[in-house]
Amino acid sequence: MTDKIPDTIKNEIEKLVQELNDHCYRYYVLDSPLVSDEEYDRMYFHLKHLEEKHHYVLPDSPTQRVGAPPLEKFEKVKHTEPMLSLDNAFTQENLVEFDKRIKKILKSDQDIEYTVEPKYDGLAIELTYRRGLLYKASTRGDGYQGEEVTRNIRTIKSVPIKISDDGNMSDEIDIRGEVYMDIRDFEQLNKDREEKGEPVFANPRNAAAGSVRQLDSSITASRKLHLACYGIGSVKGFEFKTQGEFMQWLKKARFPVPTVIETVTGIKQVIQVIREIEENRKGYSFETDGSVVKVNSFDLQKQLGMKTREPRWAIAYKFTAHQGITKILDIQGSVGRTGVITPFAVFAPVKIGGVTVSRSTLHNWDEIERKDIHIGDTVIVERAGDVIPHVLAVIKDKRTGKEKCFPVPEHCPVCGAKVVREVGEVAARCIGLNCPAQVQEKIFHFASRGALDIEGLGEKTVELLFSQGLVHNFVDLFRLRKEALLNLPRFAEKSAQNLIDAIEKSKHTTLARFLYALGILHIGEYASRLLAKNFGKLGDLYHVKPEELLQIRQAGEKTAHTVSEFFNDEKNLNALDELQKLGVQITNPDFQGKEEGRKPFDGLTFVITGILPKPRNEIEEMIRRLGGHTASSVSKKTDYVLVGEDPGSKAGQAKNLHVKTLAYDELLEMIAQYRGKDRLF
């Protein structure tokens, strides 16, 4: 079929892929985008349309990053070179000893060249590239064998699918790095989870690891993950002499690398760079608990070799954890937009790492119980990543017997309405419909960045507008007049005009953003986009039944229930009509349309085993595009097992379970039959 595509279309697709990949690189790696999100989306959907129309999809197309059917389990992957861990240094003396050890082994009294980088606190990943294309991604596991997470890693936009290099791409290279989550995104994720009554992640590292180790890659895709590459595994056909040279190559090949990579001579200079990193780390967007020092020369690294699990040529210097001891004076509850009550501790103010800490979230009552936290307890407080303080542990020896527990309140601390905690739910919720805390939070959420993005409408402004009676709900935002704002304390001509302009601008939005803005229980950014993909316009959701929502593969019972409840409430529907009357216009670029006719592999499940003529992810993608589904293990529900060279036990399992087996050619033949003899690949 590719032969029949006019060159003009092929060129257009190739140009779009290249341009979109350039924009992605600028946005996610360099952090300096050239085009707006809208412009990017426009190009993306145009590409998607062309790809679908002409069945011509390049392996590094950005459309290939999203969506894959959930796996049943992770496949195991053996690392060609083991993924080692690092020895730790806690003091300058430890670093000096490390340097001495190296000189002794090398029998040298010359200063050694080292590289110094921040230590990223995330999940170590190995990326295997074959002939320049991302072929496999795996976790560290026990260092020798990890889990295959290719489809999940592909969803991380800063991970190159194709190596950008003019050199010879016929070889294979393993690149190692850390997948991590920025502190802000971690906090937002936890906030969303708290509101949904889901358990929160203890730190950004757990959040990153939990997001990568997902059988459903669409969940990974919905999390904001980053990568920092810092190491090399097995390599064929590439020649690097030093870590510094390799890092330069990584940068040139468009891999995201650590914010600091310094090459220095002698341990004194190493200590100096570490000091600078420690001082600057407050400004980093990610959590770092140390710096990594590596011998620069790969030759010397080889000579130094490794101990059981750690190399002799590298060490992690750990920064002192920022901890403090204080007393919990009180525990109170704060009410979020969905009514979830989050307990927080009020401390006797304590200085930790130069910052005074006087409160911290306790997340939920399960957490209070797990850590056995009482009012009056003396606790160790830690400021992880220099930003979020949390209670690490209670010092039980300091108990006097006067400590009090803090049960789930019976009434909302803000409006006094009843508080309920449903069976099996972690969260306690205020059910007061007009609870001012909820209303203000709802308006604030409606205007927030991922929602209608009304610039200048922060928490303080919402509070002011609400307390002055100018807005009672988010519909009122579109009734605001400049004159009314000018009567308020914090507004002058310019700021009032800016807010009115920002509200005006927000009237043009997408269905995904709008649905998210509504703040329906369990409907975060991911679920909103899912709804937008499946419903063409807002009106199509009016009076929707849970059964219709459950047709969407990823939609669960809870989502179906709350969405249906929301869109069957006449008051809500009136408010939505009112918003549209006030000029809110909703487009839906995410809509994927209803199925037009059947696809050849609709409803069929394939399992792949053995070595095939194309990379496995390309074959899986082809099956998916044709409506099929791929699974990782053979069961009675499997329709076909695609058997390549050197097949694993799955071929035998297929036989035992009477599941049909197919060779690659037979698969192509099947497709050709459906497609009227057109070949797809």
Helix ranges (H only) for 557-633 are 557-567, 570-581, 616-625
**Crossing angle of helices 459-467/436-447, nearest 10°?**
130
User: What minimum distance in Å lies between the beta carbon of 83 and ligand IVH?
Assistant: 7
Does residue 623 belong to the site contacting ligand IVH (CB under 6 A)? Answer: no
Residue number of the CB atom closest to ligand IVH: 124
Token digits for 260? 């600091």
- Cβ–Cβ < 8 Å for 335, 414: yes
Q: Binding to ligand IVH by residue 117, rule CB under 6 A?
A: yes
What whole-number distance in Å separates Cα of residue 440 and Cα of residue 438?
6
We find the least distance from the C-beta atom of residue 95 to ligand IVH, in angstroms, to be: 16
- In the complex, minimum distance from the CB of residue 233 to ligand IVH, in angstroms, rounded to a whole number: 10
CA distance 315 to 301: 12
Taking CA 557 as the corner, what is the angle to CA 556 and CA 563, rounded to the nearest 5 degrees? 90
Sheet architecture: strand order including 226-236: 133-139, 123-130, 172-180, 226-236
Q: Which is nearer to ligand IVH, 141 or 615 (CB)?
A: 141
Task: Name residues contacting ligand IVH, limited to 341-370 (CB under 6 A).
Answer: none
CB-side exposure of 220: number of CA atoms within 13 Å? 29
Does 178 participate in binding ligand IVH (rule CB under 6 A)?
yes
Tell me: does residue 25 bind ligand IVH (CB under 6 A): no
Rounded Cα distance between 257 and 273, Å, is 17
Catalytic residue among 4, 48, 73, 119: 119
Read off the amino acid at residue 542: Y
Concatenated DSSP letters for 619-668? HHHHHHHTT-EEESS--TT--EEEE-BS--THHHHHHHTT-EEE-HHHHH
CB of 208 to ligand IVH, least distance (A): 11
Q: According to the binding rule CB under 6 A, does residue 284 interact with ligand IVH?
A: no
State in angstroms the smallest separation of the CB of 594 from ligand IVH: 45
Query: Which of 164, 165, 129, 3 lies closest to 617, judged by CA?
Result: 129
- Cβ distance to ligand IVH smaller for residue 173 or 292: 292
> From the list 62, 132, 146, 258, which residue makes contact with ligand IVH (rule: CB under 6 A)?
258
Active site residue 119: yes
520 binds ligand IVH (CB under 6 A): no
Residues that contact ligand IVH, how many (by CB under 6 A) = 15
H-helix or E-strand spanning residue 508: strand 508-510
> Which is nearer to ligand IVH, 60 or 117 (by Cβ)?
117
Q: What is the pattern of x (binds ligand IVH, CB under 6 A) and - over residues 218-237? A: ------------xx------
Q: Taking CB under 6 A as the rule, does residue 79 contact ligand IVH?
A: no
* Window contacting ligand IVH (CB under 6 A); options: 97-105, 116-124, 320-328, 658-666: 116-124
Smaller CB distance to ligand IVH: residue 230 or 284?
Answer: 230
Q: Per rule CB under 6 A, is residue 85 in the interface with ligand IVH?
A: yes
Q: Are strands 340-352 and 605-609 parallel, antiparallel or unpaired?
A: unpaired
The stretch near ligand IVH (CB under 6 A) out of 12-20, 114-122, 412-420, 495-503 is: 114-122
Exposure letters 342-359 (e unless 16+ CB within 10 A, then b)? bbebebeebebeeeebeb
Residues 290-309 touching ligand IVH, rule: CB under 6 A, are: 292
Is residue 382 involved in binding ligand IVH (CB under 6 A)? no
Shortest spacing between CB 294 and ligand IVH, in angstroms: 6
Q: Which two tokens stand for residue 387?
A: 């930003």
Selected binder of ligand IVH within 25, 44, 98, 120 (CB under 6 A): 120
- Can residue 204 be called a binding residue for ligand IVH (CB under 6 A)? no
Half-sphere exposure of 602 (CA within 13 A, CB side): 7
Catalytic (active-site) positions: 119
Residues making contact with ligand IVH (CB under 6 A):
84-86, 117, 119-120, 124, 178, 230-231, 258, 292, 311, 314, 316
